[in-house]
Amino acid sequence: MPSTLFLESPVPFHIYFTCPHCQAVRQVPEQYVGQSGSCNTCGGAITIDANTAPPLPRVATDSQPKSWYRERLAYFEYCRDHYEEAQRAFAQTTDDAHWKQRIQAAARCQERSEQVAFWERLVAEGIPWSVAFEYLVHYYVKEHDYERAFYFCTVYFTSDRWKNPQCIGSSKMLLKTMRKLDKKLFEE
């Protein structure tokens, strides 16, 4: 098995376009940037703008060795036993009010596909909380899109957000899922 699974079939990258007329959020493949057309939801004239939202982060979605998983599990145990120290060590630089607002907007999406697109957009914007990742990983596992589920696990564990002692429960769950996906994608 190759160690980099996605060299030949990368997870397609999308930008997240918000219709200026009806505010519907749509996932658009990168190559459509600059094109004009009409909004699928309201029919209004739109031009896909690359500056609307950043693309999803590009990360190497490699299989991780057992030691990598063990290190993270050890950190969770440390957090459990030394919560306050871990809390102090974790730099809190997030604008909670901003993200709360964004999460509420995501929850207001009516359609499942719209909601998925919105959560992905929050990941692209760099949401520091685990909630978007939990939603997306759960969703893609259910859809049997294990590569994309693994991708979102990787993004989560690539930044420092998994170290947030307040998110340890979710981080543990995401790590467990990632390990299962890792085995499924690379060992089977």
According to the binding rule CB under 5 A, does residue 22 interact with Zn ion? yes
Query: What is the C-alpha to C-alpha distance for residues 154 and 11, in angstroms, rounded to an integer?
Result: 12
Piece of the chain touching Zn ion by CB under 5 A; list 18-26, 59-67, 132-140, 177-185: 18-26
According to the binding rule CB under 5 A, does residue 19 interact with Zn ion? yes
Question: What is the residue type of 70?
Answer: R
According to the binding rule CB under 5 A, does residue 184 interact with Zn ion? no
According to the binding rule CB under 5 A, does residue 60 interact with Zn ion? no
Query: What is the C-alpha to C-alpha distance for residues 101 and 107, in angstroms, rounded to an integer?
Result: 10
- Cβ proximity to Zn ion, 52 vs 171, nearer residue: 52
According to the binding rule CB under 5 A, does residue 21 interact with Zn ion? yes
Distances from the Cα of 70 to the Cα of 60, 79, 132, 136, angstroms = 20, 14, 24, 24
The token pair that represents 114 in the structure block = 């719209």
Piece of the chain touching Zn ion by CB under 5 A; list 41-49, 69-77, 84-92, 140-148: 41-49
11, 33, 39, 131: residue in contact with Zn ion (rule CB under 5 A): 39
Q: Among candidates 172, 171, 169, 150, which has minimal Cα distance to 160?
A: 171
Minimum Å gap between C-beta 48 and Zn ion is 12
Are 162 and 72 spatial neighbours (Cβ–Cβ below 8 Å)? yes
According to the binding rule CB under 5 A, does residue 74 interact with Zn ion? no
- Tell me which residues touch Zn ion (CB under 5 A): 19, 21-22, 24, 39, 41-42, 44
